[in-house]
């Protein structure tokens, strides 16, 4: 079996963490979905925003389908949310065109049959699909701190200041790769045609896990060569405000925009049709791929097109406070980013500690 090094460095390795543990109880990991758009008030899909705990997103989806007698897949959602957490998200129910009175009746039925709280419900024209969200807002409580509360404040505030100034490598979280990297290993085996899987969703999920590993390898290498805080010639950059992407031809011209957090470099999600970087950044991408057992031809044979992922995660609203002997972190992340990537910098504990947090990628449906 090909050995995969899944270890990740810390951006703030020079700053000690606070230790502790996550999720002593569900209310210690709070997630709120931030919508990409609002329900317009008309249409055949009833958008229901609810708060749940102790249920996975898929469990709620299936129970809503049964409750309203809907066909499989008639209930949509924008992102997968954890079971052992307090999460707020929106579901869409294809109930057909109904009167306004249907909304109140639907809310009553949901709250009477499911252990959830409905925050609002409204009609819209289209089904919610994976990725139809802007971001997620987090409130995460750390218990059993390894230091005194006063020391935890000093340490965490120093780390917060560094992260707000520099951002973070947009790593895929350790939970993305399965127990001891099993998901990534299986993805590699599929690409090398050492095994086959008929289930198309599972096949795609496992291969994407290996793609995520290669992306992490690229981000680790940028940190190692001191190329996280500045652009490289040939980078594929992305504008923060608009999402537009472009090739960096003159580093001196674009670097001030990078420092001002107006643009970010992007990292490769390797595939046959990926927008490839050029010059120095392109050479680095090729170096990472060359160090793996796969080539772009393997991705082409597997019909994996690839994409690009923002390489620097900006967390301008990251803040911490203490309450009753606990540390509470609050921040907002764009879709596809992992809250545990932020928390591991603050805590500095073994990465296995974060494998219990199920932050699944919304784009893998």
The closest of 180, 177, 173 to 138, measured between CA atoms, is: 173
Q: Which one of 82, 144, 229, 235 is the catalytic residue?
A: 82
Cα four-point dihedral sign 53, 56, 62, 64: positive
Q: Distances from the Cα of 212 to the Cαs of 133, 184, 269, 319, in angstroms?
A: 21, 8, 7, 28
Among 335, 226, 218, which residue's Cα sits nearest to residue 270? 218
Contact status, residue 295 vs residue 214, Cβ threshold 8 Å = no
Dihedral sign, Cα of residue 157, residue 162, residue 163, residue 168: negative
Query: Beta-carbon neighbour count of residue 60 at 10 Å?
Result: 23
Spatial separation of the C-alpha atoms in residues 14 and 242, rounded to whole Å: 34
Q: Which residues are within 8 A (CB) of 68 and not within 5 positions of it... i.e. 6 or more apart?
A: 93, 95, 106, 109
Decide if 237 contacts 256 (C-beta within 8 A). Answer: no
Alpha helices (H) in the chain, listed in sequence order: 57-67, 101-113, 149-166, 182-191, 200-224, 251-259, 279-290, 296-301, 339-347
Q: Annotated catalytic, 27?
A: no
Q: Rounded to 5 degrees, what are φ and ψ at 328?
A: -120, 125
Query: 286's torsion region: left (phi>0), alpha (psi -120 to 50) or beta?
Result: alpha
Starting from the edge strand earliest in sequence, which strands make up the sheet with 263-269, in order? 245-247, 236-239, 263-269, 307-310
What's the rounded Cα separation, in Å, for the pair 234 and 29?
Answer: 39
Q: Tell me the catalytic residues.
A: 82
């Amino acid at each position: 079996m090909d050995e995969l090094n899944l270890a990740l460095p810390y951006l703030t390795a020079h700053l000690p963490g606070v230790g502790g543990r996550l999720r002593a109880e569900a209310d210690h990991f709070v997630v709120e979905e931030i919508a990409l758009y609002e329900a317009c008030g008309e249409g055949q899909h009833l958008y229901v925003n609810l708060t749940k705990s102790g249920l996975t997103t898929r469990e709620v989806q299936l129970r809503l389908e049964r409750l309203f007698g809907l066909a499989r897949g008639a209930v949509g959602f924008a992102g997968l949310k954890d079971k052992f957490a307090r999460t707020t998200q929106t579901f869409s129910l294809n109930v057909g065109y109904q009167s306004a009175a249907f909304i109140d009746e639907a809310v009553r039925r949901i709250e009477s049959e499911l252990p959830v709280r409905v925050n609002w419900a409204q009609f819209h024209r289209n089904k919610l699909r994976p990725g139809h969200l802007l971001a997620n807002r987090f409130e995460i409580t750390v218990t059993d701190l390894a230091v005194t509360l006063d020391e935890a404040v000093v340490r965490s505030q120093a780390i917060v200041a560094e992260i707000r100034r520099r951002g973070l490598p947009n790593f895929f979280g350790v939970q993305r790769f399965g127990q001891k990297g099993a998901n990534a290993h299986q993805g590699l085996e599929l690409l090398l045609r050492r095994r086959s899987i008929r289930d198309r969703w599972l096949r795609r999920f496992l291969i994407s896990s290996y793609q995520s590993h290669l992306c992490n390898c690229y981000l680790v290498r940028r940190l190692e060569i001191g190329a996280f805080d500045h652009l490289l010639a040939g980078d594929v950059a992305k504008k923060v405000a608009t999402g537009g992407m472009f090739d960096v031809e003159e580093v001196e011209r674009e670097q001030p925009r990078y420092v001002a957090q107006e643009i970010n470099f992007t990292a490769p999600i390797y595939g046959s049709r990926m927008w490839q970087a050029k010059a120095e950044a392109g050479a680095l991408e090729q170096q990472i791929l060359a160090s793996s057992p796969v080539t772009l031809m393997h991705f082409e044979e597997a019909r994996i097109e690839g994409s690009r992922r923002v390489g620097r995660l900006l967390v301008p609203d990251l803040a911490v406070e203490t309450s009753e002997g606990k540390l509470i972190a609050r921040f907002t992340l764009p879709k596809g980013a992992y809250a545990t990537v932020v928390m591991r910098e603050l805590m500095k504990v073994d990465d296995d500690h974060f494998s219990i947090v199920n932050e699944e990628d919304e784009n893998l449906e």
